[in-house]
């Protein structure tokens, strides 16, 4: 296995899909000649040219709607939002046209687009650039949403998203772009990861930490501390895909550990974790030894200050503290 950065794993996914399907086209602000604001698309314009890798003006409603319209004729646009936070200026296109055209046409149309870009806090860019809308978009039937935490998942999910015949919104993370991880060598064959399949990133027996995106890494850090300092064995369930959702993996883990702490960088009110809470209480109620707990982003717009933003987001310290309210040292089975 070789180690590459998350951004390079994405880049490899694009390169392979551009080669596989002539209808795949990358679009977005600065994705071509500038090589991408975060260098995720570096080198692709040089390799694939103007037709396949397209710089757009700063007109999210315009170019995203254009991609949706083009997808109706069989083009497969992979469109970058420089920040997912910018979704707000294209909301009509994202939730009316992308999500509903198939339905309103009685199934005559499908919209095979990928929307992608970073959706995260933690970089001190203030409230307007720190939104995490995975729960928001997952609440629209017709859309699919995933949020990879590792380089391999980023590549595998992106390739699947591009091949999917429905709109898939991929939420990446600027704090993950530079993190290296094992990714299978392309020489070893086509590597994809299905949507709707969770991954147990760490096995455990005492509590299930259920997360997606960068929060998975925070859970892994917390699991180390819980094990070494408190003798608590935490299982880390990485959802990877929000919709479709691997409900079975969640329920199986909770049935095994009998406790759940959901770690979710989105806000607590109606966030992804709220949906998962209701699924656990419905499908694993009799297996729970304690109330379901959550660690979400503290319920306020994203604060700018670098001194406190790390504590507004889920982190190992907050996760450990929350876990200890339901699974104290020495009392676990």
Partner 1 sequence: MRGLFLPILRHIRNDGISLAALSQDRYVSSRNTFAMETANSPNISPLDFASSPINKTLSSEQKVRHFRQMTQIRRFEQAAAKEYTRGKMGGFLHLYIGQESLAVGAASLMGENDHMITAYRCHAHALAVGMSMDECMAELFGKATGCSKGKGGSMHFFAPDKNFWGGHGIVAGQTPLGLGLGYGLKYKGLAGSALCFLGDGAVNQGAFHESLNIAALFGIPVVYVIENNGYSMGTSQKRSSAYKDCLAQRAEAYDMDWDVVNGEDFYEVRAKMHIAMERARKESKPTVLEINTYRYYGHSVADANHKKYRSPEEIEKYKRDHDPINLWKQRLLDEKILTEESAKEIDNESKKQAADSVQFADDSPAPTIESITEDVYWETDNNTEASKIGRHFFND
Residues at the site binding partner 1, with contacts judged by CB under 8 A: 23, 25, 51, 56-57, 59, 61-75, 92-93, 96-97, 101-110, 112, 141-142, 144, 160, 164-166, 194-197, 241, 243-247, 275
Q: Which of 221, 204, 187, 241 is nearest to 295 (CA)?
A: 221
**Residues with catalytic roles:** 60, 129
Phi, psi of 105 (to 5 degrees): -95, 10
> At its nearest, how many Å lie between partner 1 and the CB of residue 58?
9
Q: Which is nearer to partner 1, 244 or 310 (CB)?
A: 244
Neighbours of 247 (CB within 10 A): 16
Q: Which is nearer to partner 1, 109 or 324 (CB)?
A: 109
Q: Which is nearer to partner 1, 108 or 300 (CB)?
A: 108
Q: Which is nearer to partner 1, 10 or 143 (CB)?
A: 143
By CB atoms closer than 10 A (0-12, 13-18, 19+), residue 272 is buried
> At its nearest, how many Å lie between partner 1 and the CB of residue 23?
8
Dihedral angle sign, alpha carbons of residues 125, 35, 168, 278: negative
> At its nearest, how many Å lie between partner 1 and the CB of residue 245?
5
CB under 8 Å to 189, separation ≥6 — which residues?
none
CA distance 35 to 177: 14
> At its nearest, how many Å lie between partner 1 and the CB of residue 77?
8
CB under 8 Å to 314, separation ≥6 — which residues?
211, 215, 218, 263, 264, 265, 295, 296, 297
């Amino acid at each position: 296995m070789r180690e590459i950065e998350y951004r390079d794993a994405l880049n490899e996914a694009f390169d392979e899909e551009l080669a596989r399907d002539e209808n795949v086209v990358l679009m977005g602000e600065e994705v071509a000649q500038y090589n991408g604001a975060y260098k995720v698309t570096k080198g692709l314009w040089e390799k694939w040219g103007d037709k396949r890798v397209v710089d757009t003006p700063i007109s999210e409603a315009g170019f995203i709607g254009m991609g949706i319209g083009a997808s109706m004729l069989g083009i497969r646009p992979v469109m970058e939002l420089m920040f997912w936070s910018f979704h707000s200026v294209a909301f009509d296109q994202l939730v009316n046209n992308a999500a509903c055209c198939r339905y309103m046409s009685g199934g005559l149309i499908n919209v095979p687009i990928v929307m992608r870009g970073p959706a995260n806090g933690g970089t001190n860019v203030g409230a307007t650039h720190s939104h995490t809308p995975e729960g928001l978009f997952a609440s629209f039937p017709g859309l699919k949403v995933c949020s990879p935490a590792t380089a391999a998942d980023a590549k595998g999910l992106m390739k699947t998203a591009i091949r999917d015949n429905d709109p898939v919104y991929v939420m990446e993370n600027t704090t993950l772009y530079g993190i290296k991880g094992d990714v299978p060598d392309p020489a070893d064959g086509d590597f994809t990861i299905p949507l709707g399949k969770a991954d147990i990133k760490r096995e455990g027996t005492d509590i299930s930490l259920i997360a997606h995106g960068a929060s998975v890494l925070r859970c892994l850090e917390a699991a180390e501390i819980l094990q070494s300092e408190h003798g608590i064995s935490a299982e880390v369930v990485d959802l990877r895909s929000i919709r479709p959702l691997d409900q079975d993996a969640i329920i199986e883990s909770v049935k095994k550990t009998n406790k759940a702490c959901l770690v979710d960088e989105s806000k607590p009110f109606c966030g992804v974790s709220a949906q998962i809470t209701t699924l656990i209480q419905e499908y694993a109620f009799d297996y729970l030894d304690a109330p379901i707990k959550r660690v979400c982003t503290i319920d306020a717009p994203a604060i700018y200050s670098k001194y406190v933003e790390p504590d507004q987001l889920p982190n190992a310290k907050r996760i450990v503290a929350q876990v200890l309210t339901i699974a104290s040292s020495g009392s676990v089975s």
